[in-house]
């Protein structure tokens, strides 16, 4: 069973205190948080919505407390097949993958600071309630000054473009994410589990919590 829920108000406030100590304002933002949703019948991703207004300048990053946790109570699936008269089982688990919205990636090159966001199935059991924090980075812009198609001597079509870094018109443009607007999406993904290589420790925490 998969579902999205809000974390507790207390947890949301705690994870926001690095940039805001006005608990009344944070409670108002918390009350307006929308649960992730798939926009169409064919959508692979669930849109996550910004809990407040966010401005991001070029070559800067921000960590956004979403106020959301993903609950995965499905311990996985086992698919059995017979080979040489013996049953062999393949174990599957699930995780939530986070990616930026494609429109923000194309226009602003917005990306996750940790390159790939993976929310493991047991993260929601952590002391922080499984609060999903999204760390996003906006790199310096790369403007394509000019591009066109040419044919070489062999008649092969090529695209030619001339980039220029640090173009003021782009680097000085603020990326504004309005409160309540979608900025990343989460996709529930299956993966193969190898029980003989799986450790038994209990997860507690997010970024880097299972590292040494």
Q: Which of 124-133, 138-147, 174-183 has the lowest mean pLDDT?
A: 138-147
Across 123-132, average pLDDT: 95
Work out the percent of the chain whose per-residue pLDDT is above 90.
51
Q: How many domains does the chain have?
A: 1
DSSP label at residue 124 = G
Question: Is a pLDDT exceeding 70 seen at residue 170?
Answer: no
Report how far residue 24's alpha carbon sits from residue 147's, in angstroms, rounded to the nearest whole number: 51
Q: Nearest-CA neighbor of 142 among 158, 159, 116, 161?
A: 161
In a domain, 147, yes or no: no
**More reliable by pLDDT, 166 or 36:** 36
In a domain, 24, yes or no: yes
Is pTM beyond 0.85? Reply is: no
- Which structural domain range is residue 55 located in? 2-137+175-197
Q: What is the pLDDT of residues 2-24, one digit of tens each?
A: 999 999 999 999 999 988 999 99
Looking up residue 72, the CATH number of its domain turns out to be 2.70.40.10
Q: What is the pLDDT of residues 66-125, one digit of tens each?
A: 999 999 987 666 665 666 666 566 778 899 999 999 889 888 889 999 988 999 999 999
């Amino acid at each position: 069973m998969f579902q999205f829920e809000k974390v507790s108000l207390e947890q949301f406030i705690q994870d926001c205190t690095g940039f805001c100590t006005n608990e009344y304002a944070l409670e108002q933002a918390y009350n307006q948080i929308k649960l992730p949703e798939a926009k169409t019948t064919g959508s692979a991703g669930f849109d996550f919505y910004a809990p407040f207004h966010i401005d991001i300048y070029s070559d800067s990053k921000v960590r956004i407390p979403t106020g959301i946790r993903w609950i995965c109570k499905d311990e996985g699936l086992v698919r059995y097949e017979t080979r040489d008269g013996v049953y062999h089982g393949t174990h599957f688990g699930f995780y939530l993958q986070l990616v930026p919205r494609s429109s923000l990636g194309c226009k602003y090159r917005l990306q996750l600071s940790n390159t790939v966001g993976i929310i493991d199935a047991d993260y929601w059991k952590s002391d922080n309630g499984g609060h999903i924090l999204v760390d996003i980075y906006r790199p310096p812009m790369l403007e394509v000054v000019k591009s066109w198609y040419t044919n070489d001597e062999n008649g092969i079509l090529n695209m030619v473009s001339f980039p220029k870094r640090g173009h003021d018109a782009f680097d000085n443009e603020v990326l504004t994410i309005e409160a309540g607007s979608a900025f990343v999406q989460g996709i529930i993904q299956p993966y193969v589990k190898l029980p003989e290589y799986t450790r038994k420790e209990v997860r507690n925490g997010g970024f880097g919590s299972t590292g040494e």
